[in-house]
Structure formats: structure tokens, C-alpha cells
Structure 1
Amino acid sequence: MSSEPKDPSQADSAVWDKQTRRNKSTSEFYDPCQEAAQRSYKCLFRNGGDKSMCGEYFQAYRDCKQAWTDKRRGVPSKPKESTSE
């Protein structure tokens, strides 16, 4: 019961998979908007599924997802509009 593969090609494959995973960008394995998604789920749970109570959480998630998608696609970010004149 050795943890080492008996076939050398399996060992090479395992090394290749590890190296491939290390070289991929973070966005392929990690969703930076997961925290915003969890907050929106918690809000829904707290309010018995009433979506009207969680609009701010949903908007924060949509904004995060849009920013993340734009960044991955290489779209320049838009400057935020100032409300003071």
C-alpha cells in the first residue's frame, strides 16, 4: 500500500497537474465575490426569503461580479461618479 504510483507516467501526470494548477490564474479557482454571495444568501435566510429586504446585498454581488468579469476580460474600469457638485 504505497502512495507512490507504480507507473512512472502516472507520477509525471501528477506533477504536471500540480504545475498546471500553480500556473493558472487565481480567478479560475477562486471567486472573489463568494463573500458577497454568502451575505445575500444569509439575508434571504434571515428574512424568510423576502427578496425586497435584500436588494443592497444583491446589488453588491452584481457589482462585484461585473467588476471581476471586466477585469478578467481586460475591460478598463469605469471611474465612479462623484455625487458632490
Structure 2
Amino acid sequence: MYVAANPTTAHQASDDNVKSRTLLMSNAEGAGENSEWQKGGARFQGKRHSEYFDPCQEAADRSLKCLRRNGGDRGMCTDYFQAYKDCKQRWMEEMKEAKRKEGKSWFG
């Protein structure tokens, strides 16, 4: 027959287990100041935000909203699709021109 332990003693034992596990985790390899996570974290926090964004995101959202509104009928949303394509084409041309002016190219 199994007799339950004193609840107070059982609670204290579980607290001791938690404390010992916490101590082991804090003393574990990689938990110190120079852990891999902390080394990588500094690199990612210092990363510059992207200089570019998608100026055509609003047109893309409108075309998707049109599709949802019309039950996926692409024929009803051709104007929205064309507006997105035109926006994307203008943006790509502007990006090419900016890179050309900066003298940056793929090959040199």
C-alpha cells in the first residue's frame, strides 16, 4: 500500500529540485556572458535596417483584397493587377537608374 508523503515536505522537495535545475542551467556551458546566443545577438542588434522597402505593397494589398471580395475571380481584378505590375515596373526602373548612377553593377 502507498502512503502519500507529507505535502509540506513534498512541496519543499520540488522547490529544491527547481532551484538545483536553475543552478545547473545557469552554470551550464553557453549560459555565461559570452554564449553563442549573446554573441549573435549583438551582431543582429547592430544590423542596419534595410534601405529599401516595397512602395507597391499598397497596390498588392488592394489586389488581394479584390480577390477576396470577388471570391477569387481574377477577371474582376485585372485593373488592380495591372496597377501593381505598373508600380513594380516603375520601381525596378528607378532602382536600376539609382544603381547605374552610383556606379554599382553585378560585374564590377
TM-score, normalised with respect to structure 2: 0.49
Instruction: After superposition, give the CA deviation of every residue in 1:14-61 in whole Å (9 maximum; x if it has no partner).
Output: 455444424x42x1xx21111111100110111111111111100110
Cα deviation for residue 11 of structure 1 reads 6.2
CA distance in 2 between partners of 1:40 and 1:19 (Å): 36
Q: Does 1:63 align with 2:86?
A: yes
Count of aligned pairs: 70
Determine the structure 2 residue equivalent to 1:47.
70
3-state SS in 2 of match to 1:74: helix
Residues 52 and 72 of structure 1: is their aligned pair in 2 closer, same or farther, counting only changes over 3 Å? same
Measured on the aligned residues, the alpha-carbon RMSD in Å equals: 2.8
Q: What amino acid maps onto 1:67 in structure 2?
A: R
Q: What amino acid maps onto 1:52 in structure 2?
A: G
Q: What amino acid maps onto 2:94 in structure 1?
A: K
Tell me: higher relative CO, structure 1 or 2? Use CA pairs within 8 A at least 6 residues apart: 1
**Which ranges of structure 2 fall in alignment gaps of 5 or more residues?**
1-31, 99-108
CA distance in 1 between partners of 2:75 and 2:36 (Å): 56
Same amino acid, percent of matched pairs: 45
